[in-house]
Structure 1
Amino acid sequence: MSHLEIPRLPSVRDVNISGKKVFMRIDVNVPIDPETGDILDDRRIKIHSMFIKKMLEDYQPALVLASHQGRPGDDDFTTMEKHAELLSKYTGRDIRYVPDIIGPRALEEINNLKPGEALLLDNLRLLSEEVIEAPPERQALTIMAKRLSAVFNIYVNDAFATAHRSQPSIVGLPLLMPSCMGPLFEQEIAAVRRVFNSAESPRIYVLGGSKVRELLRVIENLMRNKLADRILTTGLLAQLFLAAKGVNIGTENMKILEEKGLLPLVPRARYILLRGAPIETPVDLRVEVNGDVRNTYIGGITGVAKDIGENTMQIYSDLIRDARIIVMRGPAGVIEDERFREGTLRILDAVYSSNAFTLIAGGHLASMVDESKLTSRIHVSTGGNALLLFLSGEELPALKALELSAKMFLGW
């Protein structure tokens, strides 16, 4: 299955979840303050809450929610207690936190849960099995999957952001019970389908951020399948392509590419250009020199590049306004610094004023979106990394598991 062949996947309308005991995998993995343990950005929790509330109202399931938070050993690895508090706040329902996953306490709480009620299990990655990646058939044999599947009627995956993972809660459980995608997952798939199946053009991709290797794979896949009319590059990706063109980007920026291990990618970027990829690179950059911010044209760069320049902002904005399909991944500059946010904001303003269907691929870029300017034609994905892999042509394990489950239990 390639990304161009998204399988038919069951939704909550295809399985009977009314009044049933339902395990729903969500993704409320959020930034955590390492000093206080406080949640710094609860956007994901708000989004999931909207869909959780609707599911409880429409179907009255006995709903058990589960997510991971961080990785063992990291500063953001913590319990789900505060997540449950926010889910309760935003749904207006009592989402009870259970400090257990597959132990006696959790199983008792699950068995006693009544239709229309909901609870949140503890951080799934407290279980070592959930940290290991393996094929669905192997994950279905884990203690975690077996024990949970014994107390549920239906599995719902509403965590598209984890679709690139092959862990028990994502690919093991669907092989043990009737399964479907949740409403948020379905919305994500619909947005991706619209982007890839649309015959409309121009189709413009705006690519930036720190994951340069992954973005090169995305570009190669877009070329292979003739999916992009223009690819507007920003950030380190833009600097890599400028270097591949033989443009002098300054010793400081070349040193940064070297320190990040990106210089060996220059020949690959050059080959992409020689094959005729519709790559656009900045004509000017916003740089920092000894604490001062300057706008500098390509070819005469001194200082560290931290945003696209004024003229590039205008050129990119004009192209975006004429687009019919837009996909954005990554900010245009170092948005942690207020002085280098303008490029990202100007590009987003062009998106708001265009008539294009736009898919914004989560991550740091999502934090810059003005929600008051969003319309039905702009989809902000919760799945940055999953969507990035999807764009690069990789199979997403979660989709495969749901497809297998549909064949096993629904006869599809």
Structure 2
Amino acid sequence: MAFKTLDDLTDISGKRVLIRVDLNVPMKDGMVTDTTRIERILPTIRAITAKGGKAILLAHFGRPKGERVADMSLKPVARPLAELLGQAVDFADDCIGAPASEAVGKMVEGGILLLENTRYHKGEEKNDPDFAKALAANGDIYVNDAFSAAHRAHASTEGLARLLPAYAGLTMQAELDALGSALGDPKRPVLAVVGGAKVSSKIDLLENLVSKVDMLVIGGGMANTFLAAKGIDVGKSLCEHDLADTARTIMATAEKAGCEIVLPVDAVVAKEFKAGADNDTVTLDAIPADGMILDVGPASIAKVNEKIDQASTLVWNGPLGAFEIAPFDKATVAAAQHAAERTKQGKLNSVAGGGDTVAALNHAKVGSDFSYVSTAGGAFLEWLEGKELPGVKALEA
């Protein structure tokens, strides 16, 4: 994919640069509780202001559905953003119209302005051309640094790129480069680890991956559906029995494509889902009728780690067990730490993201040890599913 980056932005001194960022951060009592997404956009903002550009930030927050909802204002984000940047960040009470244009008009070279929630307007999610033009009126250049919103064809993610010279920000560029190295033109063998609760939410993902990777580890509640499809009694485990045919089709497709599907060979079972619950490690033919599989056992962990050793590229999405509660976090932690160690040794390109993945890797204390960890949820999944992302497509040169 050919797209312009900030390296292609040369003389921008005094230019108004509309930057689409992801500031959909967790908040409590009007305070930002996790600044990860803010930290990710700092390099792009600094790169633009260092060249004398006027950085005008566009973002959404929550789902106000075209109405002004007080507790979905972006105003509380301006302070932590300013603190992390070490520079003043002005705020405009709207993203279009007089409040925005007046605030932009007062900007100095290298200044930063945060505009109010784009989703306060119905035209944002509808990708309304007139709303996109109203946004574009305040900019000379458009930079998209919000990969996490790139799967939405909204005015600020797709429409604007059609109206102004468009570039990928540093976070967007890093994300696309990482995903390209993982699935676009990867070093083989490629291993995918896919976990989570339900097959139903990841059918497209699994169907796409089996044609692109050499080995596919399936874990979490999803694995139970595949085990049941193979005739294994999974007791009271979370399992979508109605998707047995789907699971068998995916396994048959994988076999034709030469993709090895790796399923658990043992399991950690308990009669209740709670921290510290009494549990046993059993082989798959010994799962009690009243038992639930909450993690994979040591033989399965060894098998997963063996596949990690064989791989040159790893794509990880979802935990292997109920990692949120001990002791059912052991498999996820062990495999994540093993992948991180291989990455640090320079033997593995590891790319992870989506859903609970970031939380699981942070729980294993290896969030910073993978080659790349995406903070995007839906966009990361849709990319893995092989779908075209409108916000990315619009950046193509």
Matches within 5 A, 1:126-165: 126-132=120-126, 139=128, 141-142=129-130, 144-165=131-152
- Which of these residues, 104, 107, 117, is aligned with residue 110 of structure 1? 104
Q: 1:337 to 1:199 in 2, by over 3 A?
A: closer
- What residue number does 1:311 align with? 299
Name the aligned partner's letter for residue 29 of structure 1. N
Distance 1:79 1:199 in 2: 41
- What residue number does 2:247 align with? 269
| Structure-1-length-normalised TM-score | 0.85
Please give the root-mean-square deviation of Cα atoms over the aligned residues, in Å: 2.4
- What residue number does 2:313 align with? 325
Distance 1:129 1:297 in 2: 56
Deviation at 1:53, TM superposition (A): 2.7
Deviation at 1:159, TM superposition (A): 0.4
Q: 1:84 to 1:339 in 2, by over 3 A?
A: farther
Deviation at 1:81, TM superposition (A): 2.1
Deviation at 1:197, TM superposition (A): 4.0
- What residue number does 2:75 align with? 81
- What residue number does 2:348 align with? 356
Distance 1:30 1:307 in 2: 30
- What residue number does 2:283 align with? 297
Matched, 1:166 2:153: yes
Distance 1:115 1:211 in 2: 50
Name the aligned partner's letter for residue 26 of structure 2. P
Deviation at 1:283, TM superposition (A): 1.5
Q: 1:106 to 1:320 in 2, by over 3 A?
A: same
| Cα distance per residue 1:179-221 (max 9 Å; x no partner) | 1111110111111111224453221000012463342212222
| Cα distance per residue 1:66-119 (max 9 Å; x no partner) | 211221279996111222222112111212232322132122101211110101
- What residue number does 2:166 align with? 179
| Cα distance per residue 1:9-49 (max 9 Å; x no partner) | 1112223434310000011212334xx34433321112222
Q: Contact 2:180–2:186 at 8 Å: present in 1 too? A: no
**2:6 alignment partner, SS class:** coil
Matched, 1:393 2:386: yes
- What residue number does 1:218 align with? 205
- What residue number does 2:262 align with? 280
| Cα distance per residue 1:319-355 (max 9 Å; x no partner) | 2133100000112223332433222211110111112
| Cα distance per residue 1:150-185 (max 9 Å; x no partner) | 121000000011111001001111111111111110
- Which of these residues, 54, 68, 93, is aligned with residue 62 of structure 1? 54
- What residue number does 1:235 align with? 220
Distance 2:81 2:122 in 1: 26
Distance 2:121 2:338 in 1: 45
Deviation at 1:244, TM superposition (A): 1.4
Q: Contact 1:32–1:76 at 8 Å: present in 2 too? A: no
| Cα distance per residue 1:242-264 (max 9 Å; x no partner) | 111111111x22xx43xxxx433
For structure 1, the 5+ residue unaligned runs are: 1-6, 407-412
Q: 1:293 to 1:55 in 2, by over 3 A?
A: farther
| Structure-2-length-normalised TM-score | 0.88
Distance 1:32 1:400 in 2: 31
Distance 2:285 2:97 in 1: 63
Name the aligned partner's letter for residue 359 of structure 1. V
For structure 2, the 5+ residue unaligned runs are: none
Deviation at 1:122, TM superposition (A): 1.6
| Cα distance per residue 1:290-328 (max 9 Å; x no partner) | 452423332322423222222222221222133100000
Distance 2:296 2:56 in 1: 46
Q: Identity rate of aligned residues, in percent?
A: 31
Name the aligned partner's letter for residue 313 of structure 2. I
| Cα distance per residue 1:120-141 (max 9 Å; x no partner) | 1122211112233x5xxxx4x2
Q: Contact 2:196–2:221 at 8 Å: present in 1 too? A: yes
Q: 1:32 to 1:9 in 2, by over 3 A?
A: same
Deviation at 1:379, TM superposition (A): 0.6
Q: 1:166 to 1:298 in 2, by over 3 A?
A: same
